[in-house]
Amino acid sequence: MNQLFIDKAFSKLLALVASLTLLTFYVSDATAQEIDGSLVSLLEKDWAVPSVFAGDCSSVVECGDVCDQQVLTKNACPKRDEVVCISARDDVWFVNARQSHLCPENVSQIQCYRLRNGVWESSSLTALTQDHASDKSRVTFVYAHGNRTDEGWAKSRGLQVYKTVFRPTEPTVEVCVRPALRYVIFAWKSEQEKLRLLPDYTVKSRRSPVVGQSFGRFLSQFEDRKMVLCGFSLGAQVILAGLSDSELDAAEIGSANLNRYKVALLAPALDPDFVWNCLPQIQHNMLIERTEVFVSLTDRAIKLAEKLASKTPRAWVAVFQELGQSSHDSANPVSLFDVTEDAGKRHLTESYASSSCVISRLNKMVAEVQHFMGSSRDNADGSDRVESQTPAPSAGNLEAVEE
């Protein structure tokens, strides 16, 4: 009798363990309820559910920007396909560098695809770089995604940023007059590999600097640095690591201000070691013309990333703040923008991309690159520096910027 009771109790225990395991596994589902109110549980839900695209593109046509092609992308909340309209003026590329962390110095492993008639057609890195060199009517904009993103979601989230920032439902003046884009999605291996968030984040935070080496070599294939680089979450670390790579010798660019990147970092959730060892040097990076950082002070992922280092809350934000206050006359001025009101607590691509501040600043950065390209063609007399007509304000004190 006792043995029968023990067997039944043991069976119930196994069933309970199995149920808890399944519940943990499916915590990333869009309809999953929060197991508890802890920061980690909330973040697992935030990071696992891609955001919904905002609205459609009908109002964009009022800017005279017609839709040339449409592409279907997957969407988890609600679970349905989403149609994204690509402007007739724009060109969209997908750079697959998902194996780059295995051999970062080998750029031949990078695969390129070009969006044609709503389909991703195989192309090459050579074709992309030659298009950048020969077609100056478009400004090259490179987007690097964040954590927990597989190849399919890399395309979807990249197109989400394109749609939200450059084809919003309520376009501003900057969006209506922006130049044509060569929009490049840079994909790296960051899908979920560990069951729990913290171990999974640790794997990707350590991998991203290695991917950054490959990203740096990818950038070195272009004939110039007249482009905008934008990274979300750990994608920001990929970009910063790439620009800090020793293979990218700043002496190559000389003193030409026209030949330097403009960098935008959205919700950068950075590895603690990278923050304290590399981040303070960013203001001296001669490859970057300007860095703009957009952060929500209530972002759960940023808080968690800093707790992992046992630092004070928002420690890396303080580093960026200090850089913003001290980098006015440095090689790479850093500006910090508070988008807490728009982005809120959730660490989501759409939350940041839909911020009016982000939309305005990114469109202005693209316009400035076009202005620089035009100026460089006009300055055949050897002049090597042209000042931007729309300098970024200093936001080192984390005051909200009104556009």
Provide the CATH number for the domain around residue 190: 3.40.50
Q: Is residue 336 part of a domain?
A: yes
Amino acid at 26: Y
Percentage of the chain modeled with pLDDT above 70: 63
Are 155 and 87 contained in the same domain? Answer: yes
pLDDT at 78: 47
Checking if the pLDDT of 233 tops 70, the result is yes
Are 133 and 59 contained in the same domain? Answer: yes
- Span of 102-106, 132-136, 164-168, 316-320 with lowest mean pLDDT: 316-320
SS3 content of the chain, % helix, strand, coil (to 5): 45, 20, 35
- Is residue 342 helix, strand or coil? helix
Pair 197, 84: CB distance under 8 Å: no
**Among the listed residues 225, 239, 215, the one whose alpha carbon sits nearest the alpha carbon of residue 292:** 239
Checking if the pLDDT of 79 tops 60, the result is no
- Span of 45-49, 65-69, 103-107 with lowest mean pLDDT: 45-49
Q: Is residue 204 part of a domain?
A: yes
Pair 190, 145: CB distance under 8 Å: yes
Q: Which residue has the higher pLDDT, 162 or 202?
A: 162
Are 293 and 150 contained in the same domain? Answer: yes
Q: Which residue has the higher pLDDT, 363 or 57?
A: 363
pLDDT at 309: 53
pLDDT at 198: 82
66/59 Cα distance (integer angstroms): 10
Q: Is residue 247 part of a domain?
A: yes
Residue 59 pLDDT level (bands cut at 50, 70, 90): very low
**Among the listed residues 390, 325, 314, 403, the one whose alpha carbon sits nearest the alpha carbon of residue 358:** 403
Are 184 and 206 contained in the same domain? Answer: yes
Q: Which residue has the higher pLDDT, 384 or 157?
A: 157
- The mean pLDDT of 3-22, rounded to a whole number, is 55
Are 293 and 334 contained in the same domain? Answer: yes
Checking if the pLDDT of 390 tops 50, the result is no
- The mean pLDDT of 238-243, rounded to a whole number, is 92
Are 128 and 196 contained in the same domain? Answer: yes
Are 157 and 19 contained in the same domain? Answer: no
pLDDT at 100: 79
Instruction: Count the domains in the chain.
Output: 2
Are 229 and 126 contained in the same domain? Answer: yes
Pair 288, 260: CB distance under 8 Å: yes
Cβ-Cβ contacts under 8 Å for 85 (sequence gap 6 or more): 56, 57, 60, 67, 69, 70, 163, 167
Are 152 and 242 contained in the same domain? Answer: yes
Q: Is residue 394 part of a domain?
A: no
Parent domain of 25? 1-32
Q: Which residue has the higher pLDDT, 286 or 2?
A: 286
- The mean pLDDT of 94-98, rounded to a whole number, is 94
pLDDT at 271: 73
pLDDT at 196: 86
95/124 Cα distance (integer angstroms): 9
Q: Is residue 403 part of a domain?
A: no
pLDDT (tens digit per residue) in 280-326: 777 788 889 999 999 998 998 877 776 665 544 445 666 676 666 66
Are 88 and 220 contained in the same domain? Answer: yes
Pair 369, 290: CB distance under 8 Å: no
State the pairing for strand pair 67-76/79-87: antiparallel
- The mean pLDDT of 203-213, rounded to a whole number, is 90
Pair 314, 374: CB distance under 8 Å: no
- Span of 10-24, 25-39, 302-316 with lowest mean pLDDT: 25-39
Q: Give the Cβ contact number of residue 270 at 10 Å.
A: 27
Q: Is residue 317 part of a domain?
A: yes
Tokens of 107: 């750029």
- The mean pLDDT of 148-173, rounded to a whole number, is 89
25/16 Cα distance (integer angstroms): 14
pLDDT at 69: 73
- Is residue 392 helix, strand or coil? coil
Q: Which residue has the higher pLDDT, 253 or 301?
A: 301
DSSP string of 286-331, one letter each residue: TTEEEEEEEE-TT-HHHHHHHHTTT--TTHHHHHHHHHHHH-TTSS
**What distance, in Å, lies between the first and last C-alpha atoms of the chain?**
76
Are 4 and 130 contained in the same domain? Answer: no
Tokens of 54: 């905002």
- The mean pLDDT of 370-382, rounded to a whole number, is 64
Checking if the pLDDT of 29 tops 50, the result is no
Sign of CA dihedral 337, 342, 346, 348: negative
Q: Is residue 391 part of a domain?
A: no
Are 14 and 102 contained in the same domain? Answer: no
- Is residue 139 helix, strand or coil? strand
Checking if the pLDDT of 42 tops 60, the result is no
Q: Is residue 340 part of a domain?
A: yes
**Among the listed residues 140, 134, 188, the one whose alpha carbon sits nearest the alpha carbon of residue 370:** 140
pLDDT at 177: 85
